[in-house]
């Protein structure tokens, strides 16, 4: 559920999601066609992402879960007792309980823009932790969020898992970190998952699995454009590609035209030459220093850091 809630839907007369249409038309009009990653997560895309978290090559979910499972004692030692856990996103049914179990918080506050996911996962957690006050807040956490009065005087622990921060370019990530700081207040702590730079083969395999699930996840965007924006993209002529961009330390997902194609979206004509791509996602990977630098730029001082046994993934504790 890491980022699928991040959409504010405003429909025009034809029932078209305006923000989606504007982003896609603008993105396809650039010399390097590029679309914001958030549009990958319609219902089908969200399900495909859930499937990705289970595939053998996609290590981040398993590595992060391992850390959350094994480092409970460390969390309990370093996180202020009696904190309110404020989760950015609706929470995962596996990872969130591991954290809550480890630190026995005073309250749990999931923040999500999608009320349905939010209520469903809040209900699930309430059932799992009967004594824990749960206060879901329907809000866009990219902006300042007013926390419920019940938790205002408690120490705060922000929780942002899944390395979703890696899907943002640095200035967007810094904006989000600063908003989180504003929402949680000075002195708050943040527990954040950050995927690590590693050998190219492991990274490419994680984003181009042999079973083709990630390819379907990527191509689903083109299908969604065809369905929702009256598009004529020949999806079968677009090949999924995962690229390592070393300058930016990120995996990029692209849809590559296998031959020259023409199509329209909302009545607007587009062409792609053979080999031309639509850049659909960035997934930045961090080193210890680059991860720390990003947090510092966002107003958070790193305090502790844990990695999985294979050193593929990190969970960082920082303080505002
Ligand atoms: C949600 N996000 C952290 C995933 C990632 O690893 O960047 C999205 C993803 N894209 C392809 N595979 C997974």
Average pLDDT over residues 157-168: 97
Å from CA of 164 to ligand 1 middle: 7
Q: Which atom of ligand 1 is nearest to the CA of 60?
A: 6
Q: How confident is the model at residue 229 (pLDDT cuts 50, 70, 90)?
A: very high
Beta bridge partners of 84: 107, 156
Q: Which residue has a Cα nearest atom 6 of ligand 1?
A: 283
| Residue 12 confidence (pLDDT) above 90 | no
Between 113 and 173, the higher pLDDT residue: 173
Q: Is the pLDDT of residue 4 over 50?
A: no
Q: What is the pLDDT of residue 287?
A: 97
| Rounded Cα distance, 125 and 169, in Å | 32
- Confidence grade of residue 10 (pLDDT, cut at 50, 70, 90): confident
Distance 283 CA to ligand 1 centre (A): 6
Q: With 60 as the cut, is the pLDDT of residue 3 above it? A: no
Residue 178 exposed, middle or buried by CB count within 10 Å (0-12, 13-18, 19+): middle
pLDDT at 15 exceeding the cut of 50:
yes
- What mean pLDDT is predicted for residues 199-206? 98
- In this prediction, residue 117 carries a pLDDT of 80
Phi, psi (degrees; rounded to nearest 5) at 35: -125, 145
Contacts 24+ apart (CB under 8 A), 210-216: 210/57, 211/55, 212/240, 213/48, 213/51, 213/52, 213/55, 214/52, 214/55, 214/58, 214/240, 214/242, 214/253, 215/239, 215/240, 216/48
* Residue 114 pLDDT: 81
Q: In 3D, which of 79, 102, 209 has the Cα closest to residue 155?
A: 79
Q: How far apart are CA 119 and CA 98, in angstroms?
A: 20
* Residue, of 120 and 191, whose pLDDT is higher: 191
Q: Is the pLDDT of residue 257 over 70?
A: yes
pLDDT band at 76; cut points 50, 70, 90: very high
pLDDT at position 121 is 87
Report the pLDDT value the prediction gives residue 8, as an integer from 0 to 100.
54
Convert the pLDDT of each residue in 17-49 to its tens digit.
899 999 999 999 999 999 999 999 998 999 999
Beta carbon of 166 within 6 Å of any ligand 1 atom: yes
Confidence of residue 252 (pLDDT cuts 50, 70, 90): very high
ipTM over 0.85? The verdict is yes
Neighbours of 91 (CB within 10 A): 29
Q: Indicate which residue's Cα is closest to atom 12 of ligand 1.
A: 207
**pLDDT of 172 strictly over 50:** yes
On the question of pLDDT at 130 being above 70, the answer is yes
**Closest to 136 in 3D by CA, of 176, 160, 108, 158:** 108
* Mean pLDDT across the chain: 94
């Amino acid at each position: 559920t890491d980022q699928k809630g991040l959409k504010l839907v405003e429909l025009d007369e034809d029932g078209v999601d305006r923000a989606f249409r504007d982003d896609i038309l603008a993105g396809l009009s650039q010399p390097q066609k590029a679309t914001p990653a958030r549009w990958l997560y319609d219902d089908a895309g969200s399900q495909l992402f859930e499937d990705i978290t289970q595939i053998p090559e996609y290590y981040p979910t398993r590595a992060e879960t391992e850390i959350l499972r094994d480092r409970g004692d460390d969390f309990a030692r370093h996180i202020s007792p009696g904190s309110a856990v404020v989760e950015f996103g609706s929470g995962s049914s596996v990872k969130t309980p591991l954290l809550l179990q480890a630190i026995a918080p005073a309250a749990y506050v999931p923040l999500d823009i999608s009320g349905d996911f939010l209520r469903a996962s809040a209900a699930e957690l309430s059932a799992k932790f009967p004594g824990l006050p749960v206060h879901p807040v329907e809000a866009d956490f990219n902006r300042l969020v007013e926390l419920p009065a019940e938790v205002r005087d408690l120490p705060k622990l922000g929780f942002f898992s899944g390395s979703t921060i890696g899907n943002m370019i640095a200035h967007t990530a810094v904006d989000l970190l600063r908003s989180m700081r504003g929402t949680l207040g000075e002195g708050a702590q943040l527990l954040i998952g950050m995927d690590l730079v590693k050998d190219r083969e492991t990274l490419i395999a994680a984003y181009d699995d042999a079973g083709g699930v990630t390819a379907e996840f990527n191509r689903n965007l083109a299908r969604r454009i065809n369905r929702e924006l009256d598009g004529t993209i020949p999806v079968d002529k677009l090949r999924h590609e995962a690229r390592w961009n070393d300058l930016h330390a990120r995996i990029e997902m692209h849809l590559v035209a296998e031959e020259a194609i023409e199509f329209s979206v909302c009545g607007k004509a587009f062409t792609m030459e053979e080999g031309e791509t639509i850049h659909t996602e960035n997934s930045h990977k961090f080193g210890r220093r680059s991860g720390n630098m990003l947090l510092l730029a966002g107003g958070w001082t790193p305090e502790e850091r844990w990695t999985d046994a294979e050193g593929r993934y990190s969970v960082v504790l920082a303080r505002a």
